[in-house]
Amino acid sequence: MTTFALIGAGPGLGQATARRFGREGFSVALISRTQANVDDLAADLTSEGVTARGYAANARDPQALRAALDAAAADLGPIEVLQYSPVPAKEFMKPVLETTAEDLVGPVEQSVYGPVTAVQHVLPGLRELGRGTILLINGGSAVTPNGNVTGTSVAFAAESAYGQMLHDALAGEGIHVAQLIIPRGIGGGEPDHEPDALADRIWSLHTERGAFRTFVGGNTA
């Protein structure tokens, strides 16, 4: 059995996606900052017949993130799919004219250093498997800068550039890198923005292995 590792586990989209991959036979590693929270999420999945465990790590702490990924692979099996989707902190979303250089440290640590740390750590294992998928989940500011959420606009754009370069560099090795852009956030009464529908869309990114970027409610790019 191989593992679906989710960095940024939570009760909404993260849990829906974990359930979707678990239903398809993956073991599930749930990674987030608080052990009690991921333990609760893992227990819910286990009650549904999914093999799941929780690991505490802040995406902005490279050492903790590597340790969590190592523990997950040791406990559950080699990581085949990595999803990186931690929720940005509120303080990352200041207006552009109020944003200082110091305000960008947190967003960059989370949305640039975090995914680079995670990808570089799991990549040798994906190469050993000869296959794998790296999934980046972002809001609309990743492609359309929004001056009201400056930190995420800047950091998501950098994450997008990194993901596109990974997609191009790894395609020949059987490792697919995909980004899902979710405009207008999760839910809100739009059926295709609900967690279960988004989880199905994310599963299709893994199985169909098409273009790098896909928009919910729109086209690929």
Helices (H), 48-179: 62-76, 105-108, 114-129, 150-170
- Say how many C-beta atoms besides its own lie within 10 A of residue 179's C-beta: 28
Q: What is residue 141's three-state secondary structure?
A: helix
How far does the chain reach from its first CA to its final CA, in angstroms?
32
3-215: which CATH topology? Answer: Rossmann fold (3.40.50)
Mean residue pLDDT of the chain comes to: 94
pLDDT at 221: 56
Q: Are 177 and 134 in contact (CB under 8 A)?
A: yes
Q: Are 186 and 3 in contact (CB under 8 A)?
A: no
Under the banding of pLDDT at 50, 70 and 90, the label for residue 189 is low
- Name the amino acid, one letter, at 218: G
pTM of the model: 0.95
pLDDT top residue among 89 and 198 = 198
Domain regions of the chain by residue span: 3-215
Give the model confidence (pLDDT) of 86-117 as tens digits. Answer: 988 888 889 999 999 999 999 999 999 999 99
C-alpha separations of 187 from 55, 204, 205 in Å: 27, 19, 20
Q: Which residue has the tokens 């017949």?
A: 49
